[in-house]
Amino acid sequence: MTKTFIIIVTYNGMRWLEKCLASIPAQYPVIIVDNASTDDTVQFITDHYPQHRLFAQSQNLGFGKANNLGLTHALQEGAESCFLLNQDAYLRTDTIEKLQICYENHPEFSLLSPIHFDGTDRKLDRLFSYYLQYDHNPDFYSDAINQELKQVYEIAFVNAAGWFLPKKTLQTIGGFDPVFFHYGEDENYCHRLKYHGLKIGVVPSAAMIHDRAKRKMEDIKRYSIKDVDKRMLKIKHYVANPNVPNNEVILRKKIKEFKRKSVKNILKGNFDAYTYYRSLTKNLSNELDQIVQHVELNKTTGPHYL
């Protein structure tokens, strides 16, 4: 079997961490990057898993940058593949072994994922089930009902709670784009795979548990700072996609649009809306050059961001 490193990014993860780490078979080296947790996460790892390589950060790097740190170290240590595991996810004993076997049989796939069950370990994770629906792969559910499952099914996207990444993929695509702090980085990575004609697959014989069903969605107040962040993420998700043409033109049009709306709302006395659109204008203007540069970089091959 190839040498696979498991990489986990932690942040205040004590709710899941004991079960997550206990689920990892002993033969796999583990790298943990902690994003400045304020609970007992770092102490728990230090006390109970001293054999794992821990990079404890003094500030929150975000999901993408923290994973990139782990991926870089794994490659330096001779990893032939890496498995990104969420802190709220648990492996089955043979999960990674089955992914390795699938990749050996189907090296045309550049990213492989196991099936994601929810916290009950009985049902598919709700969001994960969407990735396999008919419009994304017309065969999976029919094959499952007919008990004729193939070894791997190609899909357009799967979230990064459990990703098997061969070394070749990391050398070709690189790591996560640091334009994204948290959320959106996995979709952007899949966009980049698509741009370079690389395949994403789900392996139905391999499974893991993603224990996130009880997590409550935050109610974001309109025109708040978090509403600005949400809108920024939506814009970046679209314009940082290398498959979308004229990214810079789209960005500049958005900046002009938000400028007009900020002026319009200050004249009307709508100060919350004015502040909202002014913040979007400023943030997009500040990030425009980086986004455009990264889009062009992501159209090339290489171990970017690692």
pLDDT per position as a tens digit, 21-67: 999 999 999 999 999 999 999 999 999 999 999 999 999 999 999 99
Do 264 and 158 share a structural domain?
A: no
User: Is 306 contained in some domain?
Assistant: no
Last residue of a domain, one of 179, 210, 241: 210
Whole-structure pTM over 0.85, yes or no?
A: yes
Do 170 and 30 share a structural domain?
A: yes
Structural domain that includes position 258: 225-298
pLDDT at position 90: 98
| Lowest-pLDDT range of 109-113, 221-225, 252-256 | 221-225
pLDDT per position as a tens digit, 255-286: 999 999 999 999 999 999 999 999 999 999 99
Do 229 and 197 share a structural domain?
A: no
Do 261 and 183 share a structural domain?
A: no
Dihedral, CA of residue 53, residue 57, residue 60 and residue 64, to nearest 10: -40
Do 139 and 162 share a structural domain?
A: yes
Do 103 and 45 share a structural domain?
A: yes
Domain count, the chain: 2
Rounded CA-CA distance 305/176 in Å is 7
Do 203 and 245 share a structural domain?
A: no
Report the CATH number at residue 195. 3.90.550.10
User: Is 215 contained in some domain?
Assistant: no
Do 173 and 241 share a structural domain?
A: no
Do 203 and 60 share a structural domain?
A: yes
User: Is 83 contained in some domain?
Assistant: yes
As a whole number, the mean pLDDT across the chain is 95
User: Is 165 contained in some domain?
Assistant: yes
Do 181 and 112 share a structural domain?
A: yes
> What is the share, in percent, of the chain residues with pLDDT greater than 90?
95
User: Is 216 contained in some domain?
Assistant: no
Do 160 and 242 share a structural domain?
A: no
Asked if the model's pLDDT at residue 159 lies above 70, the reply is: yes
pLDDT per position as a tens digit, 210-229: 998 766 667 889 989 999 99
Asked if the model's pLDDT at residue 156 lies above 60, the reply is: yes
Do 33 and 172 share a structural domain?
A: yes
DSSP line for the chain: ---EEEEEEESS-TTTHHHHHHTS-TTS-EEEEE---SSSHHHHHHHH-TTSEEEE-SS---HHHHHHHHHHHHHHTT-SEEEEEETTEEE-TTHHHHHHHHHHH-TTEEEEEEEEE-TTSSSB-HHHHHHTSTTT-SSHHHHHHTT---S-EEES---TTEEEEEHHHHHHT-S--TT-SSSSHHHHHHHHHHHTT-EEEEEEEEEEEE--TTPPPP-PPTTSHHHHHHHHHHHHHHHT-TTSS-HHHHHHHHHHHHHHHHHHHHHHT-HHHHHHHHHHHHHHHHHHHHHHHHHHHHTS-S-TT-
